Amino acid sequence: MARKFTRKLLAASVAALASIALVSCSGATVEPEEGGGSDATLIFDLGLEMTTLDPGAVFDVSAFIVTTAVYEGLVEYKTGTNEIEPALAESWEVNDDATEHRFKLRDGVTFESGAR
Q: Per-residue pLDDT tens for 8-21?
A: 555 555 555 555 54
CB 50, CB 60: distance < 8 Å: yes
What per-residue confidence (pLDDT) applies to 49? 79
In Å, the largest CA–CA distance within the chain is 47
Q: How far is CA 1 from CA 4, 7, 13, 62, 67, in A?
A: 10, 19, 19, 18, 20
Give the model confidence (pLDDT) of 43-66 as tens digits: 666 677 778 888 888 888 888 888
Please state, for a pLDDT cut of 90, what percent of the chain lies above it: 25
CB 92, CB 74: distance < 8 Å: yes
Separation between Cα atoms, residue 93 and residue 103, nearest integer Å = 7
51 vs 98, more confident: 98
